[in-house]
Structure 1
Amino acid sequence: LVSEDLFHRANAVLDGRRKNWDFESDKTDLYPLKPFMKCHIHPHRSLTAAPSKGRKGNLYHYYFCTLCKGAERHPVDKVHQQVEDLLKSIQISAETVKLYRKVLESIFDRESGDKVKEMTKNQVDIEKLEQRNQNIQNMLMDGKLEPSEYHRMKDINDRELAQIKHKVEHLQEHGSTYKKYIKKEVPLLENLVSFYQRSNGETKRKILGCIFSEKFVLENKKVAAVKYTTPIQVLLNVKGVLESGKTKKEVENDLLFNLAPSPGLEPGTP
């Protein structure tokens, strides 16, 4: 009836290890990293977070594993600093962001022609199926088709029609998503750290959802085993190519044909 995490925290309260724990209020601002961390001792176990009173009555906040009994417990402020340091290491320069944006625009423009052709073909198929439905309806009304056969044929047409219309909606939706991503999301990468620091907990989680493709662990008090999403990995590749000493045109060609992501790249979350 309740999550395993909530079960363990409730037992901690009942056992007297935590007093007056508030289960209802939103603690996203206090613990924004909670969805992104797992225990390095129990990789299947996500870390939770809660406050704890020190000997002098001071309140301290920790990320911890409910199975490790203290072996996996990290002060919140230190973990937050670790993540901010990591963001600084992947923050992208204005030049890189500008080139990345140009590459994406080139890719989307190049593929827009193919999308237009596909949209045109889908529209022709839609009109053909709608006309077919009209034809079998006329045949039914003229007594040239049995009702059972009419319904069978119409069901087949309607299923195919729904599939094609879904494809059209998908193409239309993704076209607008990419334009929005290039215009609004990409420039934020230039000031990633300051934007992250100014954000509330919910926005921080959205930012991190665009950066980490899997949950990370803490080893020796440091963020480890980090796996990035495709857009971030591509940006790191962009950064590497820019630092390779090639001319701007050579860099652009390398990115366009080898490094840039396909239009399946939409960021996970912001």
Structure 2
Amino acid sequence: MKAKVNNQTNVIIYCRVSTDEQRKGTSVEVQEERLRGYCKYKGYNIIELPNFKEDESAKTFKKRPVMQSILSYIKSHKKEVNKLLFLRWNRFSRDLPQATNVVNDLLSMGVEPNAIEEEINFNSANWPMLLGVYIGQAQGDNISRSKATKDGIYGTASQGKCYNKAPRGYKNKHRVDNNGMVLEKYVEFSEEANSIRKAFEEFAKGTISADYARRRYCPQIAESTFLGMLRNPFYIGKIKVPEYNGISSHLVDGRHEPLISEDTFQRIQDLLDGKKKSKPKLSKPTNPDLFLRKFLVCPICGHSLTGATSRGNGGKYTYYNCCHDAKHIRKRAEEVNEGFAKYVGALKPSIEVLNLYKEVLKDLHVDSKREIQAEINKLNKEVTAKQSQIESVEDMLIMDKSHSNRYNRILERYEKEVSELQTRISTLELSKRGNIEPKLSYAIMLINNIDSYIRDAPLETKIKLIGSIFDDKIEYDGEKYRTNSYNKVLDLIFQQTNELRGKKKEKGERNTSFSNSVPRPGVEPGWK
């Protein structure tokens, strides 16, 4: 609304509230009432702006939206505003350097900022001194409270005590005397501790994802919260002491009982950081000539094939046989292994199709990196916004010690959210760094020479390779190999190979089946 241009003094009133001021009877409503009464007494004309009430306790003027809108209005309505009035100078600012700059800017535009209960005569030469007294006192009070708060947090943390709300899996407790006075504060396990411990331990094995562990064992916890919990050293009995007076942040032994072991916690960190997992070991020694005994099943009873080496006719001979009844099937190992190498070689698509897939995947990887970077930028903005919220809560904590528990809970929640966001950013950064082309070239070489690997690769490599191709057991009847499903990626490649060669899928043919050793149309047998 435009100011009235007449002989009256045109003013804008500004109210800003904080919890400690409300306790002293100067809520935003009380401030407004006193400001309006003062203006009526003085005969001032109040410019009614859409909003002149601020509920932000930010340290800087830039983080106060109402103050920013008032300053913007004054700049765009020069010579129409004479005064900016507020109750006390600590409602205007608690930072002397910033306040001085804004006061000088307003005075240069012909607008006098003033507090009706601590009025300054700007025609006097000593106004800077008075401004320093009023705002400097508020700033000094802030500094004193901040120091006391940091001293208390550092002292409590250094003793290994929890100084905030305990994380999930724990709960805050306290002991009191007969008069209700708190003697000691401590934490103990909560009802959900066992399920959280199980989720941590299962994820640490490296066989399931973090989100799967969460959904299986503690679905009541949000995904973002759980990721932050996985990084929290509180669960191994440690307390993080914040940086203080030049002493860097560090961990100390806490007084609470750890939920998981340090070894489990370290394995979790390695998984989250994308470090290489240790090479899986076979459950027991395997005869190199019987590497298929984990995969082949008997066509008669469905039991797994086993095997053994026997002596006879002056030599040693190795056979596969049914573990349930050796009479069902018994076959020389070298014949079974060579037949299987030819069978797997028949799964080899044409090199043209493989090269086409290489180019498509390279393009997709570039697109994916762009999407990842966009997500990282979005998360960084969220981190910045959360850090601003943390600053606001710290301000409220400094000004209102009576509600410190409430503010500590809010502060802890915001800090956890920042930690979770930073974990997600780190994970995305790791996934963005990889160069896919060498991996694609290696994968294509591997697929194109898969039968040679089955024949000549080390035992553990053979087992890993077969396990990555076949999802189910392979039935062997002494001549042919049959399976109900194998790797979906390979299946898609074979399907596209046939389509590119003008072959249509037979009626009733399943994409995930490869019923015998005869290759589908378009799949080149490896032994030809």
**Scaled by the length of structure 2, what TM-score is found?**
0.37
2:482 pairs with 1:227: no
Kindly report which structure 2 residues correspond to 1:83-162, keeping only aligned pairs within 5 A, or say none: 83-143=340-400, 146-162=403-419
Matched position secondary structure for 2:294: helix
Distance 1:208 1:219 in 2: 19
Match of 1:209 among 467, 489, 503: 467
Tell me the amino acid that sits aligned with residue 101 of structure 1.
K
Gaps of 5+ in 2: 1-282, 504-528
Q: Is residue 216–residue 227 contact of structure 1 (8 Å, CA) maintained in 2?
A: no
Distance 1:159 1:68 in 2: 59
> Residue 75 of structure 1: CA displacement?
2.9
Tell me the amino acid that sits aligned with residue 289 of structure 2.
L
CA 1:66–1:191: 2 relative to 1, 3 Å: closer
Matched position secondary structure for 1:52: strand
1:30-61 alpha-carbon deviations (Å, 9 max, x no partner): 33223323344554x5433332344x464322
Distance 1:210 1:195 in 2: 13
Distance 1:88 1:169 in 2: 41
Tell me the amino acid that sits aligned with residue 443 of structure 2.
E
CA 1:146–1:232: 2 relative to 1, 3 Å: same
Distance 1:169 1:118 in 2: 12
> Residue 84 of structure 1: CA displacement?
0.8
Number of the residue aligned with 1:254: none
2:337 pairs with 1:52: no
Number of the residue aligned with 1:236: 494
CA 1:166–1:49: 2 relative to 1, 3 Å: farther
> Residue 145 of structure 1: CA displacement?
7.0
Q: Considering Cα pairs closer than 8 Å and 6+ residues apart, tell me whether 1 or 2 has the greater RCO.
A: 1
Distance 1:163 1:99 in 2: 39
Cα RMSD, aligned residues only: 3.2
Q: Is residue 40–residue 218 contact of structure 1 (8 Å, CA) maintained in 2?
A: yes
Number of the residue aligned with 1:181: 439
Higher alpha-carbon deviation: 217-226 or 94-103: 217-226
Higher alpha-carbon deviation: 174-183 or 84-93: 174-183
2:324 pairs with 1:77: no
Distance 2:404 2:304 in 1: 58
Higher alpha-carbon deviation: 196-205 or 106-115: 106-115
Q: Which has the higher helix share?
A: 1
Percent identity between matched residues is 21
Tell me the amino acid that sits aligned with residue 291 of structure 2.
P
CA 1:138–1:242: 2 relative to 1, 3 Å: same
Q: Is residue 454–residue 462 contact of structure 2 (8 Å, CA) maintained in 1?
A: yes
Distance 1:34 1:147 in 2: 65
Higher alpha-carbon deviation: 142-151 or 232-241: 142-151
Distance 1:90 1:143 in 2: 72
CA 1:187–1:166: 2 relative to 1, 3 Å: farther
Larger Rg: 2
Distance 2:289 2:483 in 1: 24
Number of the residue aligned with 1:68: 325
Q: Is residue 50–residue 61 contact of structure 1 (8 Å, CA) maintained in 2?
A: yes
What is the number of residues matched between the two proteins?
220
Gaps of 5+ in 1: 1-23, 246-270
Q: Which has the higher strand share?
A: 2
Number of the residue aligned with 2:451: 193
